[in-house]
Copies of this chain bind each other. A is one copy, B any other.
């Protein structure tokens, strides 16, 4: 099986065309707010022309069915290509002159991470802020395709299991049926973004802030138009709306689909959704309990809201901030750090390890104790009442091992950047988990500007690997991949 480079180039060209067109969506904002807009025209022009010059010559190599090896290449190269060209508006406008910084900000967008190198977010032109939010929303769309159509096909980390709508896949082909599913989920994605925007406007946000925050909420991205993030709006209504939509964005979109069709029983029958829901509630109440003993100058409702907001924001890997959680005591800090390794639901736009993987690992560990007692017994892990294949459990175990290995490699690399220990821990955990804020000097009220260029590249790679479920990227570096079988 050789790699079909021309077919891959064809898809990458198409992606660039989309990217260039998306850049034009920023123009109306520039014009409306009387800002310069040449840089968008130039960026979009370069991107579209580059896209066409790759797309058109390879049109005759277009394939209807993507093969497995090509799938890996498309996914990694797709995200990288989008990020490279996505830097153009930042660089050409001169707002982020350093290419390293611009790349960090862009890949943080497309991977829906939300870590920023901007010292003063509000100093940027509004149209550029919109581009920044839009990169996250585009990344979120990409993730839906990835989760529904590509990862199950590639068999990454047992993900084939977790998308309810993809049974009966033939291993080497993308079925039109999956494309239909992806489209249906995109409709939900767009619909929820629109609904949140309307609710935020009702809550008193202006149109610009509302649309930006809706785009980045649904992508579980977390870029804000304000330096203070969501803490800027001290409105319970606005913050509760964002909590609800972060929660929805971190829910498996097929579950949301059942929910929207009124099949709540079916949604709650899903083990991952139940665990996700219970986890958010229990941890929030726990942290609220700790905060309630030392309220300071806030009232009970606000303590509850802050704790719920931050727990949902971290679990869903969104990364919005309403309060600096690093000041909530070391007990809470440890909990927040651990939450960074949970991740949202599979089949959502959330990053991280994902809850269903934790369920499998937990059940398998309990069963392993039972297996010690009865070595000959066959005890498969069951999810939603169904026994899952041992290969899948194996795959999930290997995924989590790999996650921690990559985390440790990142930690070692970051430790040579003069970041202190806690900040390094936080920076790597938040990057690989696609969350946004970390601990220490990369905590919720700080940013990533002070990290040196080497560190920014390390974290950029961490964001990409985390977003693409590790194997997808690493497999490209394995000799097996490049052998012709």
Contact = CB atoms under 8 A, between A and B. Distances in A.
Interface of A: 68-69, 154-156, 171, 330-335, 337-338, 361-362, 364-366, 368-375, 391, 394-395, 397-398, 400-402, 404-405, 408, 411-412, 414-416, 418-422, 424, 439, 471, 474-475, 478, 480-481, 485
Contact of A372 (B420, B439, B475): B475
B480 A401 contact: no
A481 B416 contact: no
A438 to B, nearest CB: 12
Given A372-B155, A372-B471, A412-B335, A404 B405 contact: no
A285 to B, nearest CB: 15
5 contacts: A68-B373, A364-B398, A369-B478, A373-B475, A421-B439
Given A155-B375, A334-B414, A364-B398, 5 more contacts: A333-B421, A335-B412, A368-B398, A369-B471, A422-B422
Contact of A480 (B369, B418, B419, B420): B369
A286 to B, nearest CB: 10
Given A330-B418, A330-B419, A398-B368, A412 B338 contact: yes
Contacts of A68: 373
A472 to B, nearest CB: 9
Q: Is the interface of A mostly helix, strand, loop or mixed?
A: helix
Contacts of A395: 368, 371
A392 to B, nearest CB: 11
A294 to B, nearest CB: 13
A454 to B, nearest CB: 12
A112 to B, nearest CB: 24
Contacts of A154: 372
B408 A338 contact: yes
Given A361-B401, A401-B361, A480-B373, A338 B411 contact: yes
Contacts of A371: 395
B155 A415 contact: no
Contacts of A171: 375
A56 to B, nearest CB: 32
Given A330-B424, A334-B415, A415-B335, A398 B365 contact: yes
A393 to B, nearest CB: 8
Contacts of A408: 338
Contacts of A475: 369, 372-373
A254 B312 CA distance: 52
Given A155-B375, A330-B424, A331-B416, A474 B411 contact: no
